[in-house]
Amino acid sequence: MQERRKQTEIPSMFILYIIVALVVIALAGILLRFQQGLLGIILVALTAGLAFYWIRELSKTVKKSDWSNLLCELHEENGVISLVAQVPGPAENVKVEVMGKKLLLRGGLGFRRIVNLPFEARLTDMRYVNGILSAKLIRRESTAKTY
């Protein structure tokens, strides 16, 4: 999973490096054109400030992914949990893992969501159609021994 995440981050960081290089070239051009004078210093400062602002905004956009508005419904009845969730990405990238009382949903574009379960369960059925994941989980029998 980390390998896929790194592959999607490389192009976005590459674009940021290109933007930084273009800003440096623009600054050098401005300095060469206005070697002397207050106007050159003001233009360089203005360009540097704008470049810093836009690079910061672009890096926020690249790092930020707002998955909080995606649907995730969990219903429990008679020891059976039904889950319906929106998960972005193609079907081959969608993964579901049960870890104790937590359910980990993974999808494309670095999507990851942890859902708290009311009890330990095991996955019995899973379907993914057009971005909607449907899963059924049943209560896991306790393996604890009493003496």
Kindly report the number of other CB atoms within 10 A of residue 93's CB atom: 17
Instruction: List, in sequence order, every residue forming a beta bridge with 115; answer none if it has no partner.
Output: 103
Is there a single domain that holds both residue 82 and residue 112? Answer: yes
Kindly report the number of other CB atoms within 10 A of residue 38's CB atom: 8
Is there a single domain that holds both residue 54 and residue 84? Answer: no
High-pLDDT (> 90) share of the chain, % = 24
pTM of the model: 0.52
Q: Give the DSSP H/E element, type plus range, for residue 107.
A: none
pLDDT digits 0-9 by tens, 24-47: 787 777 766 666 666 667 777 788
Radius of gyration for the alpha carbons in the chain, expressed in angstroms and rounded: 25
Is there a single domain that holds both residue 6 and residue 45? Answer: yes
Tokens of residue 14, six digits? 């590459």
Report yes or no on 44 lying in a domain: yes
Is there a single domain that holds both residue 52 and residue 89? Answer: no
Query: Between 65 and 50, where is the model more confident?
Result: 50
Is there a single domain that holds both residue 50 and residue 86? Answer: no
Quick check: helix, strand or coil at residue 123? strand
Quick check: helix, strand or coil at residue 78? coil
Q: How far is Cα 122 from Cα 59, in angstroms, rounded to an integer?
A: 39
Domain boundary pick from 46, 63, 80: 63
Instruction: List, in sequence order, every residue forming a beta bridge with 122; answer none if it has no partner.
Output: 138
Q: For 59, list phi and psi in degrees, rounded to 5.
A: -70, -35
Is there a single domain that holds both residue 48 and residue 16? Answer: yes
